[in-house]
Chain A
């Protein structure tokens, strides 16, 4: 067994209620490490291409990595990996809190959920024992209610619980998996997959140890890492939370406003001030976190809530500027509703804004929307739609299908307006503020995502460098330029950014002093392997290519790496006024060159796959497509 891992996977067959324990395969672990790397290999081996993501043949892997649950800063993560019902391709979705760590203390590195339970159930993983229990009492309940009832029922008040709300139960394609009340594995519809298997929740608690190979060296590197994080200038920014960047991002033209009409919201400063004065309570940290970027807030105004976790920057952006709603109490309420019903805040807000865009253009009318006036800035309409989406009522049923599904149902060429890549809707960053983001949006394996693998354009508009200069990160002279550097930034930072995903840690400390060499040294001390920073980049590249192969096998090609045409229109106001993405195809060609992917099809060449020691994957892939 490799140190760092606890060494066991539980394969839970929900169809016949059987649980099989499997060991972690050391060879696979060495090749792909853990978490999304290991899970990608499992899904590559076990999923048939073209199958229904909401059918029993899909598998939901709740994965942690070798560093999860250890003393390593910000290591309280897990990732849910599956084939997404929203995009139909590879999906990974990360969440913090405690659940990932608690799963390891409970004795498992990963859970694989297979098949489909006949009746609603929930799972308990307590000190190595996995049990399937009836969920009659909690089906239909909100996330906080579910957690409270389960803790009472299993008599374990300190257990950590991951669950879905009614959105997941209704297989809403933008449903998320919530854990520890307020943390969310949000994107790509993991909640729908869990709901399709009739699993309401998974509780984890246990007393198991996570041993490390070289304790003294581990402690030494840990100290150095923590000291570096404490003195890093980026940490002060993270202490303000992701929402702390709200005004800066708006000034840089990176805050999509009115469905991408502009990147600058002129009310951003006042809005953020009001949030701090009337809503903000305190910071909250996930397990072993040194940054505590989580907010805790409440609303006492028109849209009252109890004190609850959130909102993050993404939520704040999508529920305000994107819909033009200038009401911070509405944001707190919307965030709260999404959390208790288990909706991805980004996608839910995005769908509301998309509906507003269609409403303005006359593609839908009051008759289509059950009488809800979906005009810009209408907070009442937002609240109504969020409830309707979660419960799949009326027009909410249309929006619950996700961006492509909704555009198809609305028809009238509404897909032309949609901001999406591969079926995943756009989060709250705009490539017109930094062109490398266009490449990231186009090529990220899970679709149009800013953070998986990493927020690459931070180096263009916020001055981040992730200490990657020694590894070849170019200086950016012109953030609006569209040149070879942008493809290089995208590739390098992606390879780097997938690191936390395969180790089971958080991405945020990467920008605040958790350097690549520290990561490699901590991984080495934990597992006993000898891994350098460069090798870690190569591991990242290998995992990205494996996930790419997964998507190619599902039928994706170069055309699916295209960014939406709306991003090729210039911004209307702000510092990015008049800026548009114009030479995307050239940047994409450069990127393919760097990656070693075929320019016509976007398929990784055999040479590339062999260079990354993926010849077995290439052989498998050759059964489905012609590899260049």
Chain B
């Protein structure tokens, strides 16, 4: 979280981060980051959220964002936050294809995959869920 804000704004501030680590008792510690699903693209009334084909990231143009918060409401996993001082929506832009959180994680717990491999990993995830169900 801190790496994220530091890369984007050069300050230490987890609450302006675009990736979040949720702690919930008992003992849930989990990173939540945008899936780049794109539901927010159509929710934007002024059309400033667009997909970057090169990185696969869904990117908000923060200069044009008017802070209405529609995208935050439609996001299925709560990955969009509002910057309380600039009043614009913040979401993961995959750092132009070189995410700071991935570089910054000393435990290599985060990875970054090319967008063209995205479908394969989604399939794998579903297959594992189904496979485990069959095994009981």
Contacts and interface: CB of A to CB of B under 8 A. Distances in A.
Interface stretch (B8-16, B65-73, B91-99): B8-16
Interface stretch (A211-219, A410-418, A479-487): A211-219
Contacts of A69: 12
A284 interface: yes
Interface in A173-189: 181
Given A207-B16, A210-B11, A288-B2, A296 B27 contact: yes
Interface in B62-105: 84-85, 104
Nearest to A526: B12
A281 interface: yes
B13 to A, nearest CB: 5
* Binding site secondary structure of chain B: mixed
B27 A307 contact: yes
B106 A211 contact: no
B18 interface: no
A284 B13 contact: no
Contact of B27 (A209, A210, A230, A282): A282
Interface in A208-264: 208-212, 215, 219, 226-227, 229-230
Contact of A207 (B6, B13, B26): B13
B11 to A, nearest CB: 4
A229 B107 CA distance: 11
Contacts of B84: 127, 207
A560 B47 CA distance: 72
A69 B13 CA distance: 8
B113 interface: no
Choose among A209, A211, A285, A296 the residue with the greatest number of B CB atoms under 10 Å from its CB. Answer: A209
Nearest to B5: A209
A354 interface: no
Nearest to B15: A207
Interface in B1-35: 2-3, 6, 9-16, 25-27, 29
Contacts of A594: none
Contacts of A226: 106
A306 interface: yes
Contacts of A212: 10-12
A306 B27 CA distance: 11
A105 interface: yes
A228 B39 CA distance: 42
Nearest to A181: B25
B106 A230 contact: yes
Interface residues of B, number: 20
- Taking each of A101, A215, A227, A229, which has the highest tally of chain B beta carbons within 10 Å of its own beta carbon? A215
A288 B11 CA distance: 15
Nearest to A67: B12
B2 A70 contact: yes
B9 A209 contact: yes
Nearest to B11: A209
Contacts of A290: 106-107
Contacts of B3: 71
Nearest to B84: A207
A210 B10 CA distance: 9
A208 B104 CA distance: 22
Nearest to B29: A284
Interface in A47-86: 69-71, 73
A191 to B, nearest CB: 22
Given A215-B6, A229-B106, A230-B106, A210 B26 contact: no
B106 A210 contact: no
A105 B14 contact: yes
B6 A219 contact: yes
Contacts of B14: 101, 105
Contacts of B27: 281-282, 284, 296, 307
A201 B106 CA distance: 34
A70 B13 CA distance: 8
Among B3, B11, B16, B84, max chain A CB count under 10 A is at B11
A340 to B, nearest CB: 13
B12 A70 contact: yes
Contacts of B13: 105, 207-210
Contacts of A227: 106
Interface in A154-208: 181, 206-208
A160 to B, nearest CB: 10
Contacts of B25: 181, 307
A71 B6 contact: yes
B106 to A, nearest CB: 5
Determine which residue in A207, A211, A307 has the highest number of CB atoms from chain B within 10 A of its CB, and name it: A207
Nearest to A98: B23
A181 B27 CA distance: 12
Most chain B Cβ neighbours within 10 Å, of A210, A281, A285 = A210
Nearest to B104: A71
Interface in B109-128: none
B51 to A, nearest CB: 28
Contacts of A230: 106
Contacts of B26: 296, 306-308
B77 to A, nearest CB: 16
Contacts of B11: 209-212
A227 B108 CA distance: 12
Interface string A265-308: 00000000000000001101100101000001000000000111
A219 B5 CA distance: 13
A212 B6 CA distance: 10
B16 A210 contact: no
A4 to B, nearest CB: 9
Nearest to B7: A219
A627 B20 CA distance: 55
A622 B33 CA distance: 60
A227 B106 CA distance: 8
B15 A105 contact: yes
A290 B107 CA distance: 8
Contacts of A127: 84
A74 to B, nearest CB: 12
23 contacts: A70-B2, A70-B12, A73-B106, A105-B14, A127-B84, A181-B25, A207-B13, A207-B16, A207-B84, A210-B11, A210-B12, A212-B11, A219-B6, A226-B106, A227-B106, A230-B106, A282-B27, A288-B2, A290-B107, A296-B27, A306-B26, A307-B26, A307-B27
Given A70-B12, A210-B11, 7 more contacts: A71-B2, A105-B14, A127-B84, A207-B15, A212-B10, A281-B27, A296-B26
Interface of B: 2-3, 6, 9-16, 25-27, 29, 84-85, 104, 106-107
